[in-house]
Structure 1
Amino acid sequence: MLPDGLLAEDEQRCRRLLADATARYRARPAAAAVLVPLCLVRGVPALLYTLRSRRLAGKHKGDVSFPGGKRDPTDKDMVHTALRETCEELGLAVPEEQVWGILQPLYDQQKVTVVPVLAGVGPLDPQGLRPNPEEVDEVFALPLAHLLQAQNQGYTHFCRGGRFSYTLPVFLHGPHRVWGLTAIITEFTLQLLAPGTYQPRLVRPKPSGG
């Protein structure tokens, strides 16, 4: 996949690679789901992000996020959760057939399972969206070419008990810093879309006692 263009072959390849995870996690109940919207902004492939409202409760207010939220008991599966929450937050209705599949689920700091759902939403003007001001302060897109440039990629090292523990990605030099769970999902997405271009440098904790 080239940073400046996406082909139908890219979509089919991604759908095939995500098929097993999609079948495994789609109907498995989880606490929350987010949509990873792959869009075309003025013809350029990009990922769509939100800036969470500062009026929200909790520690993640004002953070960059993908649209999404908690599972509702009436949701038939986690894909439905992601699509419903995206429509409620952004007024963006994404047909289910535009979903490419489910990326690897993650756990947040509270051990809550979050299911990322990748969808190709087509041409989009982020400024034309009308986000719910109670949930979203801003909507913006970052081109894949921007995310794939090494100068826009950073990493944060974490220590526990005075010893190195793990490293997480950070994406820089956009309107807002992309970090935390959103950065990890961004990294998963880039690995899928540009396997020959993006080289993750995550360092996981080593097992103790070895």
Structure 2
Amino acid sequence: MGLQRARWPAGYGRACDPRPSSWSVGVLLPGRHAGSLFPGGKRDPADQDVVHTALRETHEELGLVVPEDHVWGILQPVYDQNKTTIAPVLAGVGPLDPQSLKPNPEEVDEVFALSLAHLLQMENQGYTHFRKGSHYHYTMPVFLHGPHRVWGLTAAITEFALQLIAPGAYQPRLVISGLPRV
């Protein structure tokens, strides 16, 4: 797993605010009705690649302009239940106050940010087992923050990013039966 700059199939772009030099990383999480977190959406015909999709969606949903030269790269694509390709895009956005954002009320219910320190604290980490028949099929990470639970694909993408941003400081939770741990 690593960062790359490529043209993945149309899918969702994701952006977060990792700043490893200061270790005060924030992950931007705009809450939505469908329970999806992170800015993202389908690729428009005018988008050159998933990076442009992620930057456009981040601006449309949060009013946040992220220059293309702040993009670190693209994580390995993941797939949702409908087999839609999701290409997580990591970008540095510097110090960010969620109150300074202008969320689109038609797409975003709430915006909150989690620091790297918060995400790395064991008391803010959990996991959920999913069964298939009588045995566990896979285990997914869960990140806790007050009334918020970051889980599902959002938590998996966050976990992949943490493994790159803070290698050795985060113990992965994602386990899929029959597959090696990443």
Q: TM-score, normalised by structure 1?
A: 0.79
C-alpha distance in 2, partners of 1:175/1:120?
Answer: 26
> Superposed, which structure 2 residues align to 1:1-210 within 5 Å?
18=3, 21-22=4-5, 26-38=6-18, 44-52=24-32, 54=33, 61=34, 63-206=35-178
- The structural deviation recorded for 1:27 is 1.5
Give the 3 Å change call, closer, same or farther, for CA 89–30 of structure 1 in structure 2. Answer: same
Q: Does the 8 A contact of 1:39 with 1:120 survive in 2?
A: yes
- Of all paired residues, the percent bearing the same amino acid is 65
- In structure 2, give the amino acid aligned to 1:47: V
* Structure 2: gaps (5+ residues): none
CA deviation profile, 1:66-101 (whole Å, cap 9, x unmatched): 111111111100100000000000110100000000
Residue 73 of structure 1 aligns to a residue whose secondary structure is coil
TM-score by length of 2: 0.90
Aligned-partner Cα distance in 1 for 2:145–2:15: 23
Bigger proportion of residues as helix? 1
Task: Describe the SS at the equivalent of 1:167.
Answer: strand
| Separation in structure 2 between the aligned mates of residue 81 and residue 48 of structure 1, nearest angstrom | 17
Do the aligned partners of 1:67 and 1:85 also contact (CA within 8 Å) in 2? yes
Q: Per-residue deviation at 1:202?
A: 2.1
Query: Could you tell which deviates more after superposition, 64-73 or 31-40?
Result: 31-40
Deviation readout 1:15-67 (Å, 9 max, x if unpaired): xx52xx32xxx213222222223369xx9321111101x3xxxxxx2x25011
Equivalenced residue count is 176
* Contact in 2 for aligned 1:39/1:48 (Cα 8 Å): no
Post-superposition offset of 1:151: 1.1
Larger Rg: 1
Do the aligned residues in 2 keep the contact of 1:107 with 1:113 (CA within 8 Å)? yes
CA distance in 1 between counterparts of 2:169 and 2:51 reads: 28
1:174: how far off?
Answer: 3.6
Mapped to 2, the partners of 1:195 and 1:175 lie a distance apart of: 28
173-182 vs 161-170, which moves further:
173-182
User: Which amino acid counterpart does residue 143 of structure 1 have in structure 2?
Assistant: S
SS at match of 1:146: helix
- 1:120 Cα deviation from its structure 2 partner: 0.3
Letter in 1 for 2:107: E
